[in-house]
Structure 1
């Protein structure tokens, strides 16, 4: 009995110290609490506070609501709240946090223009703890415009830790949440057009998971995912190619194939246009090719991958004039990688389909054709300007070989 009275007296002293304390005093109390209470269960936290944990927790959430806009000890406050909310058998604390508008406060922290990335990362961890408590809590976050808030945080953040926390939360909000999974899916598609390469990479990566959850592909995904092939960042291109491969199983297959074949031949307007991506400060200041030429090379590479993946895809690509367009890309003297990738892909089609071989031989002429077959990946280094012009002006009639393919 005496021990319990002593514990109660200590807690009352702590609460009085909190109530009268300055910002630095409260920060010290929070730091001690965080250091001593990691991974404790709800009952253990109650025991720590002599069955009066809610008295401290209420003070903590009240201070958060009063100060979050000016950032006072914000990370410490969020860390302490997360310990309570995420505690096993601590549903009581989660309910109390929800009742005082904790979700909205956490989401507003993500949107603070002057907010620190480390504070936003901690707010995302808190929201993750809430979402992990079950479907009802995921729905509540989504109903509070949480998907938009988290997606915008991912797009705007300069911290990889914060971006990764946002990515993980979006994934969790899509899992086991049928009411809002399509909304998360559309939010991720919107992120593909972000100006942040890291956000693009993470959104594409997460889309591969969410795509399987949703089970069908939205047509709006085609344009932005093919546009990612313009990126100077290889990690973005890699994720885009992997997503395109996955999307071959869905109803957007035809649109994607058409877009890829079209990307092999940029229009004059596309070549003249100076895209924002050229201003990307994270790319070294070298003599960079135009993004449409980067896309041209990547499209040739993807077409080669898809051709190896399935005979059906291979034949459909040929029907869509891919052979003629690959030859045009091979003649692009402004971008060696376009020439190389297109040449490697065309060689596979030539060796796989005799009718393609016949048409390409006729279009190239014997000398160029032999140069091409002897060393397709270095043809661009040995051919002359006249031969490049022959490739660009080829008249291979792709639809005309459909019957032969059958």
Structure 2
């Protein structure tokens, strides 16, 4: 038995935030019907390189545990099919432009009347109830507008975005959490609800301690590169053969670094460095001092000593090294599935670790791979009906 057994999800999303949400629900056992346009499907199917065979690796990363149903929503027949699926669904997730689904008779008000128990989750850049509700949301733009870029990058360099589309991913995570809460609420009320999740909301929440610091002190946050705005020393240090990360999260760890690792107790006892607030005030003195000392030996040498002293530290890995690390393999974080089009494909597994989650998830689907199956088994459509809709272009199957 899986956590979301018997939960049906109608997925009207594309690209990243929405698909991340629905993949999470699929990972937890929900049956996800991914509705795609018959010509091309999800935008990310065409986002390559990189690719394996004819499949975009971008699409592969966020669409496991789904069934692809290719329906043209611009047709009356297509709208009727999706409306019928909504009547049988527990959850609908969409990230269309404002008003697009309302014009098709698939908006919240229409479907709530049809299925009062439906949980309708809408993802957008700025929220459905916002002065900018009609504006599209793109991760890089949201990173810029939320302040995240302004605090990312070298102190004297230009603002930088995160290496992955972090606001999209967090939006998908927020949406899946909200949906799970709404499903729990429905057990008490027997009613669905409308959920409004915005990229901007999640991005501002990501400011966390930096946002709290500004709101309560008025101090404008600065960029610290790989250093921490509050905790010192915390960041990258250059050893004789390259960089490593040191994170002294408290005064005990700093003393251990100075005494057990560097053999310099006088640094730990220096009044300028005893407490974190002292080290923060004197970081321009402390960091060059530590940098000079760490340059005397290899990164692995220092990391070994720091870990032995119970101080967080790590050699900086490349992506290949991280994905092939012993702890990643031991945790089963790389899953290989048999894709119907290209054979074995590998993805990073779900980080959610609950008992009885499937060890072998469904591979990301081909476009329209499950069109016939879902129409027959969920909607009870006959073969002649399906053939008519395929011939007219309303449907597509691979």
Bin for the TM-score computed over the shorter chain: under 0.3
Q: TM-score, normalised by structure 1?
A: 0.22
| Larger RCO of the pair (alpha carbons < 8 Å, separation 6+) | 2
Q: TM-score, normalised by structure 2?
A: 0.23
Which of the pair is proportionally richer in helix? 1
- For the pair shown, which has the larger CA radius of gyration, 1 or 2? 1
